[in-house]
Amino acid sequence: MNLAEYKGVFVFAQQVDNEVSGIALELIGKGKDLANDLGTEVTAVLVGSDVKALADELAAYGADKVIVVDDPELKEYRTEPYAHALASVIEKYKPEIFLVGATAIGRDLGPRVSARIHTGLTADCTQLEIGDFPINPIPGKEQLHNQLLMTRPAFGGNTIATIACPNFRPQMATVRPGVMQKLPKDESKKAVIEEFNPGFTPDNKYVEILKVVKSVVDTVDIMDAKILVSGGRGVGSAENFKLLDDLAEVLGATVSCSRAVVDAGWKPKDLQVGQTGKTVRPNVYFAIGISGAIQHLAGMEESDVIIAINRDETAPIFDVADYGIVGDLNKILPALTEKLKAEIAAK
């Protein structure tokens, strides 16, 4: 492998139902940063069926170039044709960095592609930067420059590791949604658009989609919320989430929850914060009746202000809360909602 042949930062521009996913824009934003450091460009790889029209949106958010792989076989996500699309793009264009969202799609697609082209893949990164490897010079070992340093939490968020991929290209990472910032939209920005179709011939690795069952609930994206009112097992019942809904309404906030709540069937999975849910970092995070398992903390501890209400004064949530109130949520929440209403009305 001639590493010097590999140039440019590529990102997988995930779309679902021909709508660009937020993570695609976040990756373009981060990709642009990395590309600037390397003196190169960021290319978005758009894969799907009839998706070419989405290229302008990717350009408006900062993509210098968009490679469109458009084929009827790519209408719904399936591992094999998508892996074939990305592996073929990598083979042809030889990027030095390839970023994929750590979504339910990307965490299937990334490993399959990296295994096909034989390179390393670092999962669920929360920080990416260009730097030296080894980070500090080691006598007798060449220090390589302009390497992608990929930082990720492991162990349910209790350890962090920075990983490099010095001898293989592209350097691949999946990136946790909600962590990187997208650039402001600028409609005047245009990208070079190139179409590429490597050919798709179904083989044993193609699976058949018998049915697509969409969640019927109207989904709000908790990752976009400025204020989250998040409830845990301590809320007690699905009905009792009314207390959180009322508070959220007064504050213009969104309701989210912990895994226990999803497991109990009180709330749908897309509202779940944590290691197996979503990573959020709102301005204010209310943790209500949430004990604070590390898997939960991993998904919310970067919030600007954390306010926790819990009856159990030993709950681990208090270890990360800026303001912890030991008390009964059933008494505090209604009173808080009423008083806030009055405060806001008085303004």
Partner 1 sequence: MKIVVCIKQVPDTKGGVKFNPDGTLDRGAMLTIMNPDDKAGLEAALRLKDQYGAEVTVITMGLPKAEEVLREAMAMGADKGILVTDRVLGGADTWATSQTLAGAIRNLEYDLIITGRQAIDGDTAQVGPQISEHLGIPVISYAQKIEVEGDSVIVERQYDDRYHVLKAKMPCLVTALAELNEPRYMTPGGIFDAYNAEITVWGRADLKDVDDSNLGLKGSPTQIAKASDKVRKGAGEKVTLDPTESVDYIIGKLKEKHVI
Beta-bridge partners for 148? 130
Give the DSSP letter of residue 1. Answer: -
Binding residue (CB under 8 A) for partner 1 from 7, 75, 112, 189:
112
- Region of 28-36, 60-68, 98-106, 187-195 interacting with partner 1 (CB under 8 A): 98-106
247: three-class secondary structure by DSSP:
helix
Which residue in the set 188, 201, 204, 237 belongs to the binding site for partner 1 (CB under 8 A)? 204
Give the residue with the Cβ less far from partner 1, 136 or 237.
Answer: 136
Residue from the set 68, 275, 289, 290 that interacts with partner 1 by CB under 8 A: 275
Using CB under 8 A, which of 63, 123, 128, 248 touches partner 1? 123
- Closest alpha carbon to 164 in 146, 138, 181, 142: 146
How far is the CA of 30 from the CAs of 52, 145, 330, in angstroms?
23, 19, 42
**Quick one: how far is CA 24 from the chain centroid?**
9
Out of 40, 103, 256, 279, the residue judged to bind partner 1 by CB under 8 A: 103
- DSSP at 278: B
In angstroms, the CA 296 to CA 3 distance is 40
Residue 62 or 157: which CB sits closer to partner 1?
A: 157
- Binder among 138, 141, 199, 213 for partner 1 (CB under 8 A): 213
Stretch near partner 1 under the rule CB under 8 A, chosen from 62-70, 179-187, 191-199, 305-313: 305-313
- Count residues contacting partner 1 (CB under 8 A)? 96
Nearest approach, Cβ of residue 321 and partner 1 (Å)? 6
Contact positions with partner 1 (CB under 8 A) in 22-61: none
Instruction: Rule CB under 8 A: say whether 249 interacts with partner 1.
Output: no
What residues from 2 to 21 belong to the interface with partner 1 (CB under 8 A)?
16
- Residue 194 lies near partner 1 (rule: CB under 8 A): no
> DSSP letter at 301?
T
| Per CB under 8 A, 255 contacts partner 1 | no
Taking Cα atoms as reference points, which of 176, 134, 316, 319 lies closest to residue 232?
316
In one-letter notation, the amino acid at residue 34 is L
In DSSP terms, 254 is beta-bridged to 228
Binding residue for partner 1 (CB under 8 A) from 44, 100, 284, 300?
Answer: 284
Task: Choose between 65 and 78: whose C-beta lies nearer to partner 1.
Answer: 78
Q: Which of residues 142-161 bind partner 1 (CB under 8 A)?
A: 149, 153-161
Give one word for 303, left, alpha or beta, with left for phi > 0 and alpha for psi -120 to 50. Answer: beta
Of the residues 219, 238, 242, 312, which one makes contact with partner 1 according to CB under 8 A: 219
Q: How many CB atoms lie within 10 A of CB 251?
A: 18
Work out the burial of residue 162: count CB atoms within 10 Å of its CB; fewer than 13 is exposed, 13-18 middle, 19 or more buried: middle
Q: Give the range of 24-32, 45-53, 56-64, 133-141 binding partner 1 by CB under 8 A.
A: 133-141
Strands 127-133 and 144-154: antiparallel
User: Which residue in the block uniquely carries the two structure tokens 């709508």?
Assistant: 19
Q: Which of 130, 163, 183, 264 binds partner 1 (CB under 8 A)?
A: 163
Q: How many CA atoms lie within 13 A of 43 on its CB side?
A: 24
Of 33-41, 128-136, 185-193, 234-242, the segment contacting partner 1 by CB under 8 A is 128-136
Stretch binding partner 1 (CB under 8 A), from 24-32, 90-98, 181-189, 292-300: 292-300
CA–CA separation, 311 and 324 (whole Å): 10
